[in-house]
Structure 1
Amino acid sequence: MPTVYLTHPACLKHDLGGDHPETPARLHAIEDQLIASGLMQLLDYQQARSVTREELLLVHSVEHVDGMYAMASVQQQTRTLVQLDDDTALGPHTLEAACFAAGAVVQAVDMVMAGEALNAFCNVRPPGHHANRHQAAGFCIFNNLAVGVARALHHHGLRRVAVVDFDVHHGDGTEAIFHDEPRVLMCSTFRHPFYPYSGTGPHSPHRINVPLPAGADGDRFRAAVTEFWLPALQAFAPEMIFISAGFDAHREDEMGGLALREADYAWVTRLLMQQAEATAAGRIVSVLEGGYALSALGRSACAHIRALSAE
């Protein structure tokens, strides 16, 4: 059963200008590597559907969802960027891209739950893990992964879902959305101190945050995963695993300041697959987050997807 690969052309149309690091070229970098490696032909390539308002409202407030649509409507008339924060803006096609990005994760969940795929990778943008219930932030409009988690909980009735986030930035939006949800275990590594300057409180039974210092390499990352993530995942026994797959902790990504390599992403993916096979019938949905050094992003995502596909 092949890994399903979901994306949509609308995700390429979101463009905030040539100097913005969250660029359409990110998706091309991943696809180019998949094609060059021969891996693309082994994947089940699917064009994503758009998210519905009702699906967004499972994790976002009415004010946030309706506010994004209202601002996008204004933007369509003015044809100028609507700045949401220092890093995040609405361009002419941003809302459309965000809706397909979130919809891809819902579709991935449905396909995996239906047994149409063992696991999935969503090559989508804008990313999502900084968007919280009430606002966009950090390049993110809607929290794509959180929308998928809500689909697994509310539509498919899962009782235990794990979120694993190895982006260089703490997934503060995802953590805030599920802060009081005991059905969701969140495990993360991230550089600290670093944007968004969160995630350093004490561990709780369902929040396993492991800050890493600047320059931390794969050995430090693997030790954090082995010492902190694995025991929590084994005890929680998730019925599905979601991955916030940010590749900006790669040593070539100058924006990140950590020193992971492709082999580290392949290693953690295989480890998560073992956990999924033990308690979740193999079910994994992985969603692209960060990664801004294009060559490193493509190679790292390819290593991650190769491990998912067990090729």
Structure 2
Amino acid sequence: MQAPLAYLLVPSLAHNEAGHSEHNGRVTAIGAALAGVPRLELALQLPPAVPATAAQVTAAHTAGYLAQITKAAEALPPRIADPSTYLCSGSVECALEAAGAAIAALDAVLDGRARTAFSVARPPGHHAVAAAAMGFCLFNNIAIAAHHAQRNGSARVMIFDFDVHHGNGTQDLFYADPSVLFASTHQARLYPDTGAITETGSAAGKGCTINIPLPAGAGDSAMLQAIERVLLPAAVRFAPDVLLVSAGFDAHWRDPLASLQMTCAGYHQVAASLQALANTVCNGRLVFLLEGGYHLPALSASVANVFRALLGQPGHDPLGAGSKPNPEPDHTSILDAVRKLHKI
């Protein structure tokens, strides 16, 4: 019998730096929140992930980078990966486990054990580029998963990134690839200062990158309208075999690293909307991978709400709406511009 949801929890305890925003308490907090999700027993908890192989990693990254970061982590003390990204002696092993968890979650959907899946694993991945770590990310988990999907019968992959920061690494890796549709909602003019509307892909991949930069203060309404007015028609036109989601929860109004005002209730609606979208375009095949989210109560409650939505349960928002500007700033003109540019 097919489960409605499969999931993994990969806290990566050996990858940790005191005082850093991306620490090993993130997944632990999520695990505690999931204990309160109704009907969680209907979900399939997958066994511990098998670390991604070198072949799987180098589908997205260069062999030289894999060797370089492995050597850097083995140094005493380990060398920092980039100004915002730390390394510990166990960091590469943890990153391989996170990439392996993405593959395991995807496999559970592709082989029919579950209709949807969520890999709750760290470190995150969407900033990592082919030959460098960046922005807390060592390996690009969602890119590795996308290549794995294509090697296993899913020729056309759609990636949606709703982290508050633009997924520059994922965009770069598929910028010229017409077989992957990459779409991102993110706060405008925020790290890493990429993701302009005019970044639409190159060569054969022209038009297969869709960026929706949202103004500071945007929240649930903007996100849901972006899904309805941009993602849905783009997905129908592209006709993917599977939908992968870079699920960052740092657009929440309580998150310290940005200025959007999503709510936990909003993330429940987003998950339900994406499930409906997947049902429409790819027979329900939908996989979430954890990216950002650094206010633990907001992160854990928001992830729990995604689980609730995927299990058909009502949402629960212990934090309520934000104190940020309300009503939200205008986002209609941005969505109109994206629709016009992409002819959707």
What does 1:1-311 align with in structure 2 at a 5 Å threshold? Answer: 1-8=3-10, 11-17=12-18, 19-46=19-46, 47-74=48-75, 78=76, 80-154=77-151, 156-202=152-198, 204=200, 205-311=207-313
The answer as to whether partners of 1:33 and 1:302 remain within 8 angstroms in 2 is: yes
Give the Cα separation in 2 of the matches to 1:172 and 1:309: 31
The answer as to whether partners of 2:181 and 2:238 remain within 8 angstroms in 1 is: yes
Give the Cα separation in 2 of the matches to 1:242 and 1:140: 18
Per the TM alignment, residue 233 of structure 1 is displaced from its structure 2 partner at its CA by: 1.1
Per the TM alignment, residue 116 of structure 1 is displaced from its structure 2 partner at its CA by: 1.1
Give the Cα separation in 2 of the matches to 1:207 and 1:249: 21
Per the TM alignment, residue 256 of structure 1 is displaced from its structure 2 partner at its CA by: 1.7
Find the residue that maps to 1:123 and give its secondary structure.
strand
The TM-score with structure 1 as length reference comes to 0.94
The answer as to whether partners of 1:191 and 1:212 remain within 8 angstroms in 2 is: yes
Give the Cα separation in 1 of the matches to 2:66 and 2:246: 22
> Once the two structures are superposed, what CA deviation does each residue of 1:226-249 show, in whole Å capped at 9, x if it has no partner?
222221112112110000000000
Aligned length: 304
Give the Cα separation in 2 of the matches to 1:147 and 1:39: 31
The TM-score with structure 2 as length reference comes to 0.85
Give the Cα separation in 2 of the matches to 1:171 and 1:272: 18
The answer as to whether partners of 2:10 and 2:27 remain within 8 angstroms in 1 is: no
Give the Cα separation in 2 of the matches to 1:301 and 1:8: 14
Which runs of 5 or more structure 2 residues have no equivalent in the other structure?
201-206, 314-344
Find the residue that maps to 1:82 and give its secondary structure.
coil
Give the counterpart letter for 2:92 in structure 1.
L
Query: What root-mean-square deviation, in Å, do the aligned CA atoms of Structure 1 and Structure 2 show?
Result: 1.4
The answer as to whether partners of 1:7 and 1:101 remain within 8 angstroms in 2 is: no
